[in-house]
Structure 1
Amino acid sequence: MKILDWYILKRYVGTFVTMLLLFIPIGITVNLAEKIDKILANEVPFIEVAIYYLNFTVYFANLLFPLFLFLSVIWFTSKLANNTEVIAFLSSGVSFWRFLRPYMIGATLVCFGAFVLGAYLAPKANKGYNEFIYEYLKSQQKKNKAQKTKDVYRQIAENDYIYVSSFSTKTKTGRDFTWEHFEDNIMTYKISASKIKYNPKDTTYTLFTYKKRTVGVDADILETRAKVDTTFAFDIDDLTPVEYIAETLATPELREFIKKEELRGSSYISRYKVTLQKRYSLPVAAYILTIIAVAVSAMKRRGGMGANLAFGIMLAFIFIFFDKVFGTLAEQSDFPPFIAVWFPNFLFAILAVYLLRNAKR
């Protein structure tokens, strides 16, 4: 790697890290100012608050790293242009594509780190972040509402379906439980109970007012008991996962979780798929935004760095707008999650090609 590559690469990485170190404390300060009243009112231990903001740092950096990267590239490339360094590079016989190479090397390093962060480290941080909010910052009324789930109907195996009219994640009990088993699309038996309770110590279930109807050729067989302790091949927590669970799973675990939830007919399946696709799309977005940032700021123009930053911030917010709109559309409708997540990248890739062609001229 030559002097030019090292010079730009050090600026690329150094400015990006500086941008993170500048904005993360600001994010922590704003978040703390918003939540300090509830933290003090609930007498949250200091160590819990410290761990929460450690998790918040990872969460915040992972969420906004494409924006920070974009602004940092515009910042230091505009300085190069204003100091006529870019003109000196190109006048020495270096092609624009050759000038762009260290930017792509830097984007590769940052994107690899971002992919590892999003796939393995951020999920652990998200789990602690969301659990802290749920435990200390939510009102009791919202907790009770979140802990109660109505009309849970799931396919737990190829031929088995269960239903509960209501379920409490706090007490791990459900009302009006039924289990239906089918063979060749014909029901062979049905288990019902007025209440089902999960026992975490021995992973068993207690059924109250138990009834089992076995469908026969000539007549059905009915078995009734007041109370039955039994085991089932499912975990109560798997049947009613919290909405943010996809954010807390590493990528391999998330893939397996999505497969199970598709079989069970989860109503949150689109949300889970959006989360998975974003872990791949955000690193790619960093490449696209790097090219746009270089194309916008590599040439010296009237207005200097301020004009470049203003234009860059406008593009960044447009990108975030499209990302949020299409992500929400996929979560709330039948719109394909893959198209929703990757469409902003596709749109801005076209913009990147257009701006790059103009910059080369």
Structure 2
Amino acid sequence: MKKTLYRYIFNEIPPPFLVGMVTFTFVLLMGRFLKLAEMVVEKGVPFGDVVRMVSYLLPSFWLFTIPMALLLSILLAFGRLSGDSEVTAMKSCGISLYGLFPPPLLFSVLAALACLWVQVYAVPWGNSSFKKLMLDIAQSSAGVSIKEKVFNNAFPDMVIYADGLTPKGESMTGVIVHDERDPKAPTTIFAAAGTLFSDPRSHSMEFQLKNGSIHRNEAGAGYRMVQFQEYILRVALTDPTPKGPKKTSEMTMDELRHPPAGTPKKEVKLRRQELHSRLALPFSCIVFAFVGVPLGIQNRRSGKASGFSLSIAVILCYYIALSGFDTLGEKGILPPLLSAWGPNLLFLLGGGYLFMKTAAEEPLPLTALYQRVKEAVRTRTRKGAKA
């Protein structure tokens, strides 16, 4: 009997979970769509490369969409069961709310394990693959983005003009290059012809210019002009050896766990906080199970739209608390363990309170206030319609 009941409740959760995953992931991707479309239309990046970029970005989005979709699925599943009076029928058979909790708890544990796998393995793979692909795109499409008889800004702090060029953009004639990488000595180069080459080893592009002149205006040295028959202009696409310390958000789990000898205490605390934060975020899936079940039952016949709005409200409150605790941890007010796990502990206590109140069939304070406000709005609407 219990196996059949548990299977029935468990099967209610995956469909809205998948809908939530697709919806929330699409919403997060909308902010990137304009930039991706610009890369396809203006810079000539192949559509296949754009699809690969999106696939590499997905793991970082899944860290947030998995807990959001889990909360939404539990709210909608138990909202439907409660709205169709199935929860009441189960209670009449002697099954309490505690007896209905194992299926959503099991699903939340599976979601937490999936989120942990994404955090430990998928996100580092996606970030490294995305950076490599962006570098390959910059090397392969720099020439494609240069258009003839147009002032192009394909490279940072540089403007390139070509009177004529081949279809692939590698060979050019009537070349003008204005270089402002050194603000103190802006340079303008005129060349009769030029060829563009990529150098993957040094992560740079080379302009091999022929039969031209270099015009430079240096501060304090005045105007200078140099004529050349052949000149090589190298443009770095990225710095292969970035300067400065590595950010904690870019470190691997092993680097966070084992800082090198001599690391300052402040840096060690930041690494511990980042480590605990990465572990605490997947655990939020289990926390949301305690919050979602009582809220879903109280939601009753409000519908899917109310479930979406309620889940977004809870998620918003959770991430506000997460940001606040994280700030307190960075300032040293809270220890790394408490700053990372504080939001989960706070919402777990709140979810436990809601769960016990719902199990005892006592009305929730917020639910009663919501019903009063709703009835007041309906009454005013009716009076306004009659008037």
**What range describes the TM-score normalised by the shorter chain of this pair?**
0.5 to 0.7
Which residue number corresponds to residue 218 of structure 1?
Answer: none
Query: C-alpha distance in 1, partners of 2:35/2:250?
Result: 23
Bigger CA radius of gyration: 2
What are the residue-to-residue correspondences of 1:239-278 with 2, within 5 Å? 240-243=244-247, 246-247=249-250, 249=252, 251-256=253-258, 259-260=259-260, 263-265=262-264, 269-278=268-277
* 1:268 Cα offset (Å): 5.5
* Aligned match of 2:190: none
Query: How far apart are 1:33 and its partner, in Å?
Result: 1.9
1:206 aligns with none
- Is 1:20 the counterpart of 2:21 in the alignment? yes
* TM-fit CA distance, 1:104: 0.9
One-letter amino acid of the structure 2 residue matched with residue 109 of structure 1: L
**1:291-350 Cα deviation digits (max 9, x unpaired):** 111011124647455545433322221101111232244345564332211111111111
Whether the aligned pair in 2 keeps the contact of 1:39 and 1:136 (CA below 8 Å) is no
Residues 1:300 and 1:70: Cα distance change in structure 2 (over 3 Å): closer
Give the counterpart letter for 2:312 in structure 1: I
Match status 1:360 vs 2:359: yes
Q: Deviations over 1:112-143 (max 9, x none)?
A: 121122111222112334566788799847xx
Distance 1:274 1:51, change over 3 A: farther
Q: 1:102 Cα shift?
A: 0.9
Deviations 1:135-190 (A, max 9, x none): 8799847xxxxxxxxxxxxxxxxxxxxxxxxxxx999xxxxxxxxxxxxxxxxxxx
> Once the two structures are superposed, what CA deviation does each residue of 1:171-220 show, in whole Å capped at 9, x if it has no partner?
9xxxxxxxxxxxxxxxxxxxxxxxxxxxxxxxxxxxxxxxxxxxxxxxxx
TM-score (norm 2): 0.59
What is the CA deviation profile of residues 72-98 of structure 1, one whole-angstrom value per residue up to 9, with x for unaligned ones? Answer: 211121111111111112211112111
- The ranges of structure 1 where at least 4 consecutive aligned residues each deviate by more than 6 angstroms after the TM superposition are 133-139
Residue pair 2:318, 2:343 contacting (<8 A) in 1 also: yes
| DSSP 3-state at the match of 1:263 | coil
Give the aligned partner of residue 2 of structure 1. 3
Conservation of the 8 A alpha-carbon contact between 1:70 and 1:289: yes
| Residue pairs, 1:1-361, within 5 angstroms | 2-37=3-38, 40-129=41-130, 140=156, 240-243=244-247, 246-247=249-250, 249=252, 251-256=253-258, 259-260=259-260, 263-265=262-264, 269-299=268-298, 301=300, 303=302, 305-331=304-330, 335-361=334-360
- Kept in 2, the 8 Å contact 1:125–1:248? The answer is no
Gaps of 5+ in 1: 142-168, 172-235
Higher relative contact order (CA 8 A, sep 6+): 1
Cα separation, 2, equivalents of 1:277 and 1:92: 43
How far apart in 1 are the matches of 2:320 and 2:135?
A: 27
* Whole-angstrom CA distance in 2 between matches of 1:53 and 1:302: 37
- Residues 62 and 118 in structure 2, CA contact (< 8 A), matched pair in contact too: no
1:37: Cα distance to partner? 2.6
Q: CA RMSD in A?
A: 3.4
Q: Give the distance between the partners of 1:102 and 1:170, measured in 2 at CA.
A: 52
Identity of aligned residues (%): 20
Question: Do the aligned partners of 2:257 and 2:271 also contact (CA within 8 Å) in 1?
Answer: no
The aligned counterpart of 2:197 is none
SS of the residue corresponding to residue 311 of structure 1 reads: helix
Cα deviation for residue 55 of structure 1 reads 1.1
Change (3 A) 1:92 1:111: same
In structure 2, stretches of 5+ residues that fail to align are: 139-153, 158-201, 205-239, 361-387
Structure 2 Cα separation of the partners of residues 130 and 84 of structure 1: 52
Work out the CA distance in 1 between the residues paired with 2:114 and 2:316.
Answer: 23
The separation in 1 between residues aligned to 2:343 and 2:123, in whole angstroms, is 23
Normalization by structure 1: what TM-score?
A: 0.63
* Preserved CA contact (<8 Å) 1:38 1:136: no
Q: CA deviation at 1:352?
A: 0.8
- Matches of 2:278 and 2:356 in 1, distance apart? 29
Kindly provide the amino acid, as one letter, of the partner of residue 111 in structure 1: A
Q: Deviation at 1:32?
A: 1.3
CA contact (8 A) 1:19 1:68 kept: yes
